[in-house]
Amino acid sequence: MKLTINGKDYMFEFTIAASLCETCVEKTTKLIFGIVDARSDEDLNKMIQSITDIYSTTFALFYGGLLEHHSNEIRSEKDAKELLAAYFRENTDRKEYNYYTLFNQLLEQVKDDGFFDLLGLDSMMESLVAEEEPKQTTAKKKATKN
């Protein structure tokens, strides 16, 4: 994915450099698991909490995605924040340029790059689902016996 900011093209890629960015990994996994957990529990409060994390997660993805190709100039979160601010200052149509739309663009790149596979999230989710299925079946059997 490419964004032009301050007249310069910035490439976003979610591979090794992003996987070594603790903030990027932590925020992304927290959001994804929070949304999955909220859906499975049908807990509106958990869903709202996960959605409010989109802003900080968008920034974490923005920063992590820059590291593969721009770590020589984006050396800190402060540098990334300044670049993100410049992006929003240049793109003022808030229907098209906002945290949610940027989040979706970055998340699409995350999927395209196989970032979740690299982190092992897909395997982890499959394991969690496989563990939950026997528990749910046992709970249903107990409920129908009573």
Residue 62 CA to residue 24 CA, distance in Å, equals 8
For residue 49, is pLDDT > 70? no
- Region 26-33: mean pLDDT is 82
As a whole number of angstroms, the distance between CA 53 and CA 27 comes to 8
pLDDT of residue 63: 97
Kindly report the three-state secondary structure assignment for every residue of the chain: CEEEECCEEEECCCCHHHHCCHHHHHHHHHHHHHHHHHHHHCCHHHHHHHHHCHHHHHHHHHHHHHHHHHCCCCCCHHHHHHHHHHHHHHCCCCCCCCHHHHHHHHHHHHHHHCHHHHHCHHHHHHHHHHHHHHHHHHHHHHHHHC
pLDDT in tens, 1-21: 999 999 999 999 999 999 999
d(CA 59, CA 81): 8
> What's this model's pTM, rounded to 2 decimal places?
0.77
- In this prediction, residue 29 carries a pLDDT of 84
Q: How far apart are CA 143 and CA 36, in angstroms?
A: 25
